[in-house]
Structure 1
Amino acid sequence: MQIIELLTPAYEAAWLPWAVQYFFLVGIATGAALLTSVCVFGPANGLRQRLLPTAVLVLTMSAIAAPVALLADLHQPARFWHFYAHLTPWSWMSLGAILMPTFVGLCVLMCALWWLGKHKLMRALVPLLVLSTLSIVLYSGAEVMVVRSRPLWSTLWVPINLALSGWLATVGMAFVLYRFLPIKLQPDFAALHGLRNLGLVLATALVVSALTWAIYGMAGHSPSFDLAVRLFQEFPVWRISMLGSAVFGAAVLVALLRGQRRLSAKGYTLVLGTGLAASAWAFRWALFMGVQGVPKFGAGLYLYSMPLGGDGLLGMVGVAGLCVALVAIATWALELFPQRQATA
C-alpha cells in the first residue's frame, strides 16, 4: 500500500480583520454623511430635522473610527507617508490617501457646525460633503474590485453590495445610537418610522442586486457567481456560511417588515439595529477573510485561524471600544452647548 502525503503551506491572510472593521465603518460613515446631508434641508421640526441629531451622532462615531482601522490595516502606519511621497494616481489606494482625509475632514466639520447650530453653513457644506462621500464609495469599492486574481472580488456587484449593505448598517446604527441622545433630541415615532422605511428600501435594493447577480451569473456572464456556486457545492464551511447568511438576511428583512408598530419599544429597535449592523459586518467578514481562504491556484481550502492579539480579536474589541468612547464624548459634548438642545 502506498501512502501519499499532501502538504499545504500555511499562508498568512493578506487582509487582516482590521480591513473588515475599516470597510464596515467607512460604509456606515458614507451612509451617515448622505443621511445628514438630506436631513439638513428638512423643514423646521419636520421628520428629517428630527432625524438630524441621530445622523450626526452616527457620522461622528464612524467617520473618526474608520481611518483608525485603516491605518492599523497598513501593518506599519508609517507607510501612510509613502502615499504622499510617491503619489501614483493610477492606484486606488494612492488616491484614497487623498480622498479619505478630505472626507473625514468634511464629516468632522459638518458635525462641528451642527453642534454649534450653524445650519446655514451646514447647507453650504452639503455639496462638497456629498461629492466627497461618492468619491469614497467609488474608491472603497474599486480598490477591491480591481483585484483580478480573486473572481469573487473582481466584479461590479462587490462595490454595489458594499455600498448598499453599508448604508443599511447606517440605519441599524441609527436605531442603536439614538437612545444615547438627550430626550429632546431623540427622534419620535414618526421619525423612527421614516428610518425603518429607508431600511426597507435599502434591503429591497440588496435583494434585487443579489437576484440580478445570480441571473447574470446563470447566463454565464459572471465568474464570481460561478466560483460562489463551486464553493457552495464543494466546501461545507462555505455552504453553512452562505445558508446562514441567507436565513439571517431573511430574518432581518422580516423584522423590518413587521416592525411598523413595535418601533416605540426600545428593546425592539436595539435588536433590529444590531441585526442590521451585524449583517453588514458578516458580509464583509465573508468577503475579505473567507475569500482569502480560497486558493488563487489549485484546489483545497486554507483554514484561517484568527489571532487573539492586536491583529485579530483584541483589535476588534479595541475598535468597538473606540466607537463607544466616541459616542460617549459626543453626547457629553452636548452638555457644553445647552443651546443646541433648546434649538434643535
Structure 2
Amino acid sequence: MLLMGGDRIDEAVAHAAKVLRAAADRDWSVKAGGLDWSCLKTAEHITGDFVAYAGQLTGRATDGYVPFETVLDDGTEPEGAIHAIEASGRILAAVVRTTPPGVRGYHPYPVGSADAAGFAAMGVTEVLLHTYDIARALGVDAEPPAELCEAVLAHLFPHVPPTLAGTTPWTTLLWATGRGTLPGRAPLTHWRWRNAASLPAGPLALRELPPAACADLAAGGTGGLTWLDGGPFTGTRKAAEMMKKAYASGVHRSEWGLYALVRTADELAVGGMGFHGPPDDDGCVEVGYDLVETARGHGYATLALRALSEWALTHPEVTSLLAVTTPDNTPSQRVATRAGYTRLPDRDTNHAYGLRRP
C-alpha cells in the first residue's frame, strides 16, 4: 500500500538517521552534494521543513507560511543534528496522525494548499533527498527502501512515469528531483512536486485522488478515505483501476483523473467523479461519475458535476465536455441535464450529453 501518513515519515526518518550516523565522525562543514549549504546546514533545513510543515497543519494556515523558523543551536555537532531530525520528524508524524480529515494548510505548489497526506509526502521527500545530498558529500550510501520511493512518486509526482526498463524507484525519484539521469530522458534543471487539488461544490468537496490512492481503491481499499456505506460503488473502483493503469503506462496527467466526492459536514466520501483522461486534440474531455447507493437522490452528483465542469472550462485547452451513459441509466442522464449538458447524437448504442464553453 502506497498511502502516505505518519508511519511513512517514521520510516524515512529511521532511514535518514541510520545513513547519517554512519558518517557522523566526518566533516559536516563541507558542502552537501549539489547544494550551496554545508552538510550541517542541510540537516538544519530538514528539521526546519518538518517543523514548518507541522505548523502549516496545526496553524491551519491558508494564505502563507506560519512566520517562524527552526535553527540548530550554535556549536551543534553531527550527532545533535541527527537527533534534531529524529525529534522534528516525530513531531510532523504526530501532527499528521492527529490532523482531522479535510484540514488543509498553505503550500504554494501547485494548488495553494495540501492536506495531511500531502505534508507527510513532502516531509518524506525532503528527508530522503537531503539525506542523499549529505551522504553524497560524506561518501556513504543513501538508497532508501524501494516502496518508500514508490509511495513518494505515486503521491507527489503523478506526472512522472514510475518505471522504465533499467530504472528503480530511487533512480526515478532522483531524476524527478534534478539529481540524476535516466536513459531516454533529458536531465531536469527545474522541477516541482504536485499536491492533489480540492474543489468546492456546495456541501461537497471534490478531492483529487493521486495514483497512490487510486491504486489502493483498485485493490479494494479505501483510498485513504472514510466512505458512506463502507466503500465506493463499482464505477469508482473501475475508474481507479483505469487511473492506476494510466499512471503505470506513463499517460496519466495531473488534474484530469479521479476525484472523490466528500461531504464536508462529516468527511464521508459519497462517490467518485472525474475525467477519462486529459482533453483530446479538439479540446473535449469526457467525464464520468457514480455515487454510493444511499447517497443518491440528494443532488450531490449534479452539484459536483456542475462544479467540476465549471472548473474544467477555466482551462484554455478545454472547449467542451462529454458525458456518455447507457440508454437505461436515466438517473445519470438527469444529472447531466441538470448540470447544464444537452443531448448529443448517440455514441454507438449509448446516449451522449455535452457542455460547450460559452
Instruction: Judging by fraction of residues, say which structure has more strand.
Output: 2
Q: How high is the TM-score relative to the length of structure 2?
A: 0.33
TM-score (norm 1): 0.34
Instruction: Specify which structure has the bigger relative contact order, considering alpha-carbon pairs within 8 angstroms and separated by 6 or more residues.
Output: 1
